[in-house]
Every structure is written in structure tokens, then in C-alpha cells.
Amino acid sequence: MPQVITSADQLDFTVEDIPSMPLPSEVLMVRPLHYSVEYVINPHMADQVGNVNTIEAQNEWDLVRSLFNQVGIKVHVIEDQEGLPDMVFCANQSLPYIDEDGNRHVFMSIMHADQRKDEVPYIEQWYRQHGYEIHYLDEDKINDFEGCGDAIWHTGKRLLWGGYGYRSSMEAYETISDTYDVPVIALKLVNESFYHLDTCLSVLDEHTALIYPEAFTDEGLKMINKLFNTVIHASKYEAEELFACNASCPDGRNVIIQQGCTDVNKNLRDNGFSVHEVSTYEYLKSGGSVFCMKMLLW
Ligand code: ARG
């Protein structure tokens, strides 16, 4: 089996052939006391500089945190830092993994934008204190890699979906695949509004994905359709304005999602998922929602 897979022809296995991985039982979140939109590094941030309501943002974050608790996920909290207004989006600074012996590993990100590079050491410190083996990418060879913003675990499987094109480089996946010893299915992102894989793909359970099809190439769509039995499509409005595909389904059953995704939510319920709607309007202004606001851990 090739380790970094770029075409449907190379997918000579099914999901059942892939060894299983425990479901995450914890998340890490960063308290957004200094969250704001201060610069523009994705199209959603244009016209939003200075527009965040800080109190609202903190209330929304509290609700997201309590929803994770409610669905049985333990939440760890790190304090954010003044001068790092995007630190709350803690899906981006790392890619954790639990190996077959139960050892915890993490790759630290190489942030694409200079404005976000200083976030990484703070997150790294948390992993260090919690006994993770820390891995780094070679900055001489790899330009960027934004953690679980672009690298998404297939629910319950030792299989990674890797987005590239805007914030992460394809080359990162060679190293990650070798070190974690997992296949990576690389998906090129082609629509600037969907600059991270987690804005256009949500892996809901082993057999179900939620996607915004226009964010992918034809080959990418072929690979997605080949590995998932059910692929739910979000409309342009729900995907682009409400970040429907940035939902989080930590346990393969409960979906935490921005409120108002009417069509997607109906589809989710029809497919047996429990839907938990939450307002993340203040975070949509920065180009993020539920999935970006946490890091799943084991
Ligand atoms: N303003 C942040 C950025 O552009 C938002 C990050 C959202 N995170 C995500 N995983 N999509 O970097």
C-alpha cells in the first residue's frame, strides 16, 4: 500500500482493512480572552478586522466547551496569549496520534502565516507536560503544515486524510506517514474560501462523511466516494457562510455544529446522528467554527 495516496487507482484497500484506532476521549481548548480579528489571512477575515464582540466570543466558546463535556468528552483548557489573536483555533498548531502500544505522539505544525507562528511553542509546552513524544517537520524542506486543520483522522482508523494547497504542503505528509506508519490520502484544495481541509470535510463516522464538493478536485472526490459509503453534501450557503463541514463528531454519533445548517442537520438526523447546534458567529468572522476550536486527544 503506498503511504501517500493521491489517486483513486492507488486505493486498493477498504476501510475494513485498516487497523482500528481508539476514539478520542478528550479535547484541548484555548480560552479566547485575547481572541480578535486583527489581520486578514483567509477570505472570511476580510472586512472583519476589529469586528469581534469579545464578550459574545467568550460566551460562545463556553457553550462549545460545555457541549463537548455533555457528550462525554473531557476538556483541557490552555490560556491564550496577548498578541496571538488566533490561538483559540487550536486544531491548527499540532497533529497528535496514539500508537498501537498506547504511546502518545504529536507533530508540531509549521504555521503558514507569520502572524500565527508564535502560537506553536505554547501548545508544544502543554504536550511536553503531558508526556507526548514530540516530532518536528524539517523546516528546510517543508514550507507549512497546519495540523488538524488539514490532517483529519478517519474515525476509529489508523488512516489520515491530508489536505494541501493553501496552508499545508503535500511534502509534510511523506514525513507524517513514515513516522506514524499510517497511509495518508492527500486531497488538493482548490477553493480559497475552503483553505483548510476541516472547512470542507467532516469525517462523521467510519462510513460517513460530510463534504462541500466544490472545494475538491475530481480525483479527490473519487477518493472520498470510494472510501465512504455515505457522503453528505453541504450547500454553498451552509458550507461557506455557516461552516457546516467544520462540525465535530468526536464519537461517531454526536455532531456539534454551527446553528442554522438546516439542510445538513436534516441529513445528519436522517442518517442517525444526534445534532447539537451552537452559535460560533464570532469565530466565523475569522474563518473558523467548532472543529477548529478544539484538538481531539486520547
Ligand atoms: N483565522 C484563523 C486562520 O486563518 C482561522 C483558523 C481556523 N481553523 C481551522 N482549522 N479551519 O488561520
Q: Cα(126)–Cα(28) distance, rounded to whole angstroms?
A: 10
Name which residue leads in pLDDT, 1 or 59.
59
- Mean pLDDT, rounded, for 135-152: 98
Q: Cα(94)–Cα(110) distance, rounded to whole angstroms?
A: 9
* Cβ(35) – ligand 1 distance below 6 Å: no
Quote the pLDDT of residue 1: 55
* Centre of ligand 1 from the C-alpha of residue 42, in Å: 8
Beta-carbon-side half-sphere exposure of residue 39 (alpha carbons within 13 Å): 9
* Centre of ligand 1 from the C-alpha of residue 92, in Å: 7
Confidence grade of residue 64 (pLDDT, cut at 50, 70, 90)? very high
* Cβ(93) – ligand 1 distance below 6 Å: no
Residues in CB range of 120: below 8 A, 6 or more apart = 93, 94, 108, 109, 111
Place of cell 472583519: 48
* Cβ(85) – ligand 1 distance below 6 Å: no
Cell numbers representing residue 134 in the block: 514530540
* Cβ(292) – ligand 1 distance below 6 Å: yes
Query: Which value, in Å, is the radius of gyration of the alpha carbons in the chain?
Result: 17
* Cβ(288) – ligand 1 distance below 6 Å: yes
Residues in CB range of 119: below 8 A, 6 or more apart = 81, 84, 86, 87, 92, 93, 111
Quote the pLDDT of residue 2: 53
* Cβ(36) – ligand 1 distance below 6 Å: no
* Centre of ligand 1 from the C-alpha of residue 101, in Å: 32
Q: Cα(30)–Cα(28) distance, rounded to whole angstroms?
A: 7
Task: Say what the pTM is.
Answer: 0.98
Residue 251 predicted with pLDDT over 70: yes
Rounded percentage of the chain residues whose pLDDT exceeds 70: 99
**Closest CA to ligand 1's atom 1:** 286
* Centre of ligand 1 from the C-alpha of residue 25, in Å: 23
Q: Which of 95, 196, 243 best tests ligand 1's pocket when mutated (most atoms within 8 Å of CB)?
A: 196
* Cβ(162) – ligand 1 distance below 6 Å: no
Residue 32 predicted with pLDDT over 90: yes
Residue 142 region, left (φ>0) first, then alpha (ψ -120 to 50), else beta? beta
**Closest CA to ligand 1's atom 9:** 292
Structural domains of the chain sorted by starting position, each given as residue range(s) with its CATH number in brackets: 3-297 (3.75.10.10)
Angle at CA of residue 48, ends 82 and 143, nearest 5°: 65
